[in-house]
Structure 1
Amino acid sequence: MKDRAPAPGTTNSELRGVTPPESATPATRTQPSTAAGSAGVKDTARQSADGPTRLSAGQCVDGGSGSAYGDVEALAVELLGRAEQDRELMRLAQADPAPLRRHRLAQCHRDNAEALAAIVARHGWPHADLVGSPASTAAVMILLHSPDLGFRLRCRDLIARATADGHTPAIHFAYVADQCAVDLGQPQYYGTRISPRTLRPYPIRHPQSVDERRSDVGLGPLQEQLQALRITG
């Protein structure tokens, strides 16, 4: 019998190939891509000479005084905008890892996590059926960058339920479950967390069956992911 993570599985492969952040070092992080849903979204990351303008928790990306959390479209725009801001600050920190840029990136992660917590408190997990697949993927990226492990664990359980109910791709659960397991010092289930130093996975529970579990959630074979990392790294 295949060993599974503590959540129901699904074979949804909608987001195959997405890769999560691999460490706390900006130069080694990757994020789930939300580009497919960002076309037509205005001002998703307002630029300045030093990078995008930082959004405060609850502030819409269009500069409004507060997010219209009751408006699903505005909710999706906010999630996409915050994810885009994260990516831009990450790009700047990778290009020049100066202390100020690293501080701005860390502050962005804290602000985004606070905003996501407010969304979750009101709506539950912003799953794909609620905000659309790109915005839900953006929420996963924000969650993976949250410094609050307790919050990530709570959201992991919400994502597990959304996956079991068919509201969101199982691949979202895989990334969050693996990150939580590694941060708790436990073996991961799907091999999505890779050491930036060795380019090898952190310990995996029953590694001989990992590709079966990965297939269940829409991920390709682990060796393909590792080969891609070696080529791009």
Structure 2
Amino acid sequence: MQLTVIGCGDAFGAGSRLQTSFCVRSGPSTFLIDCGATSLIGMRRLGINPNDIDTVFVTHLHGDHFGGLPWLLIDAKYVSNRSRPLVVTGPKGIEDRFSTLAEALYPNSTRAERGFELIFVEYEERKPIEVAGVTVTPFEVHHPSGAPPYALRFAVDGKVLSFTGDTGWVDVLSEVARDADLFISECFQYDVTLPIHLDYKTIDANYERLGADRVLLTHMGQEMLAESVKVDRERYMIAEDGMTIEI
């Protein structure tokens, strides 16, 4: 299984990074974890064919995590000529939020005839969902976004991959990360503790509790990027747009 970082930036383009999106290629499926507004640009840069994507797993309904879906829709219809279903999973209300966003950007885009089915699946707290051979379990975290936000824990190809989404520290993160082959953690600040975002000092203070084999730090703000030289590289990897990780 291979993870490619399409975008690892925050909402503000700190460090010229694209917004959050990860592509995972596994035996049974190729899927995205989040689809920020710049995701299609990142996919084109990296040669990732949008038609290869079976599922988009969305952590929460902020634009830098799901705002790229309208562009994925119009690309599928007008450029990539998609013909097979695309599944989008996310918090309660994701289909309505998507439709509102897509119609604001491209009127009639959700009502126009298309050659593929767009399927929405809503999360239920801690209830595993299986899509195209990938099992994902959502854990509610803390990041107000108009619908419950989730950390996601994936089981595929006998491996475990987990992602915090955006959140302040909540104890459930140790359950999300435990024994994961790769744990992706947002790290917006270096030592400023916020209720809705993680910082490096808090992550590091809880490192043993996380219990993951490898930890990848992502979603860094400008202040965190300036302090990134202080990150313990024996414990953590730092995400960069375009990097690939074998899991």
Instruction: Give the TM-score, by structure 1 length.
Output: 0.35
Higher strand share: 2
Give the alignment's TM-score, normalised by structure 2. Answer: 0.34
